[in-house]
Structure 1
Amino acid sequence: MYNKNAFTIDEHIAQLQERGLVIADKVLAAHYLSHVSYYRLAGYWWPMQADKAQHKFKENSKFEDIIHLYNFDRELRILIFDAIEKIEISLRTKLIYHLSHEFDPWWFQNIAIFQDSGALIETLANLKEEIERSKDIFIKEHKKRYKEDLRFPPAWKSLEMTSFGSLSKLYGNLKNTIKSKDTIAEELGAVNHTYLPSWLQSIAQIRNYCAHHSRLWNKNLPGTPKILPRPPHRWLVDVPADTQKLYLHLCIIRYMLNIIAPENSFALKMKELLTRYPSVDPNALGFKVNWENEALWN
């Protein structure tokens, strides 16, 4: 049975020092622990522990290095979130445009074009909640003007309300015979529907980590994106085998960005971020040696 009581900040600092963590500035440590919870920071000092059962730190482990890692990770999430925004808006635009033309403006309610009706009903339930909560003028005006129409607003209104995760699920759940599914994949550089669903699932998971300020540094990611054997656009010579580390997922984000926003500065900002934090080991994120020399990142 768990029977530990809450520690004060001073008690936390004393415990960390007893376990071998070097804290040169206790005032700084107290400041961070009063604004960033102990267990949020613990994810950054976990690899610094030599004995994880007793929580003993490796020699010369410093609190300042933990803060550098924390700040690096925070800036990394902001950079990635900005990049994912462009992918999300592009995906939403293409779903609305292609499927509304292939079928009609209410294609997303058409069970016949989806593989899993149960999953679609769940997605639509979430979308309905978003629409009902919406304060957007175009949604309020639609409800007022077409109150007799019990359908969702058309795709170009409704899908502006939904999350990247729901957009990803809508796309992945489309039957593989739907022409627009391949068209969208081709326009986003994924050739056909075989690869894009896993890319979107991966990016949606990373977006959620960013949105909830969760640690990305040294995290094993759950998604397993499928890799194109012969990508039509700039890609990697040295493709990482480890799909759990962030680097491969960043490569997919960069690949898609190069199509959606060719003048993007994602690569430059990534290089600048790693330069600003030289104590951060890129290997913990899965970065390959000389990654910046790959055509994808130039």
Structure 2
Amino acid sequence: MGVVAITVEEQIKKLKGRGMLMDQGINKAEEILFDIGYYRLGFYWYYYQNHKTHIFHQPIKLSDVVKLYYFDFDLKMLLLRYIYRIEVHFRTQLVYFASNQYEKNNTWYVDSKIVNSSIFKEFNNIYFNLKTKTNTLKKHHNKHSSNYAPAWKVFEFLTFGQVFRFYSNLKSHELKKKIANSYTIRDIALLESYFLALINIRNICSHNGVLFDYNQPYGIKRIPSYEYRIKTNNSTNMNASIKLILFMLSKISKNRANDLKSELNVLFSESKKCKVVEEMINSKIKLDI
């Protein structure tokens, strides 16, 4: 929209001047723009524009852009639900194995003998916010004089990325291996690269980025499973990320991995009924599950 706000009427005029077809009528176009927003939809009609002139390469229907937007939205909501399952499982493994290994130290996560102290400064700020805003931790500190609550209380309120930082900063290689064994992965560095990739996808899903065209900053390393192996040369696109999600999910529950696979097939099948969306799926994702 540039640097100056314009009315919905002006937005429609601008889009029509660039070649957008208001195929459902002006009233519906106004409804869509008031609902989703010109700026957000712009991330999706971007693919059909000359990026210098902003003129559409060919007449494009607003309804097709909206279908692409909703395909991406539905894909985000679907993957987010299953990534959350992986996130909860990972948090549980870390808290369980670490808390049992250091059974006499329920605040092992702030012990510099156990965790690299480089993360403590940032974490202390996070913890201050948690204990002032989270009822569970408020109640704990009202009853106990300790500076920190036990790990199993605290980690429930940490993000996937924050939990991962504690795992990656554990000093005990053997403890890391125990947790990695939960996923039948021996290579700790490989597991860490997988979790970083999952966190990237989770962040896109949670913060309204465009997902279907997302590329991992680093390629996903070879998945140790024939069923979920990436069969193309592209290890950064969404197909590769979806294969990784399916693989990690299968290590927790094969049934849930099969559920996700089925739901993906339904979503892609329905979305491909729109030719514009089908072309984008085939050129950007190239799903091969």
Q: Any idea what SS the aligned residue of 1:195 has?
A: helix
Unaligned runs of 5+ in 2: none
Partner of 1:74: 73
- Alpha-carbon offset, residue 262 of structure 1: 1.8
Tell me, yes or no, if structure 1 residue 149 matches structure 2 residue 146. Answer: yes
Instruction: Describe the superposition over 1:158-186 as per-residue Cα deviations: whole angstroms up to 9, x where unpaired.
Output: 111111110111112223x4312112112
| TM-score, scaled to structure 2 | 0.88
Say which is worse superposed, 23-32 or 267-276, in terms of deviation. Answer: 23-32
Partner of 2:175: 180
Instruction: Describe the superposition over 1:194-229 as per-residue Cα deviations: whole angstroms up to 9, x where unpaired.
Output: 11112212212221222223321223343x255146
- RMSD over aligned CA atoms reads 2.2
Q: Any idea what SS the aligned residue of 1:272 has?
A: helix
Q: Is the 8 A contact 2:86 2:249 kept in 1?
A: yes
Partner of 2:155: 159
Partner of 1:251: 243
Q: Is the 8 A contact 1:199 1:225 kept in 2?
A: no
- Alpha-carbon distance change, 56 to 268 in structure 1, aligned in 2, over 3 angstroms: same
Tell me, yes or no, if structure 1 residue 236 matches structure 2 residue 229. Answer: yes
Structure 2 matches for 1:1-298, cutoff 5 A? 4-24=3-23, 25-49=25-49, 51-103=50-102, 104-115=105-116, 117-136=117-136, 139-146=137-144, 148-150=145-147, 152-175=148-171, 177-222=172-217, 224=218, 226-228=220-222, 231=224, 234-236=227-229, 238-243=231-236, 245-264=237-256, 265-278=259-272, 279=274, 280=277, 281-288=280-287, 291-292=288-289
**Percent of pairs identical after alignment?**
26
C-alpha distance in 2, partners of 1:251/1:214? 20
Q: Is the 8 A contact 1:247 1:287 kept in 2?
A: yes
Matched AA of 1:149: S
Matched AA of 2:251: I
Q: Any idea what SS the aligned residue of 1:5 has?
A: coil
Aligned length: 279
Partner of 1:296: none
C-alpha distance in 2, partners of 1:127/1:233? 42
Q: Any idea what SS the aligned residue of 2:84 has?
A: helix
C-alpha distance in 1, partners of 2:174/2:128? 26
C-alpha distance in 1, partners of 2:88/2:39? 34
Say which is worse superposed, 36-45 or 104-113, in terms of deviation. Answer: 104-113
Unaligned runs of 5+ in 1: 293-298
Q: Any idea what SS the aligned residue of 2:221 has?
A: coil
Matched AA of 2:4: N
- Alpha-carbon offset, residue 155 of structure 1: 0.8
- Alpha-carbon distance change, 52 to 141 in structure 1, aligned in 2, over 3 angstroms: closer
Instruction: Describe the superposition over 1:234-260 as per-residue Cα deviations: whole angstroms up to 9, x where unpaired.
Output: 4226154341x2221111111111111
C-alpha distance in 1, partners of 2:196/2:76? 17
Say which is worse superposed, 206-215 or 27-36, in terms of deviation. Answer: 206-215
- Alpha-carbon offset, residue 53 of structure 1: 0.5
C-alpha distance in 2, partners of 1:234/1:124? 42
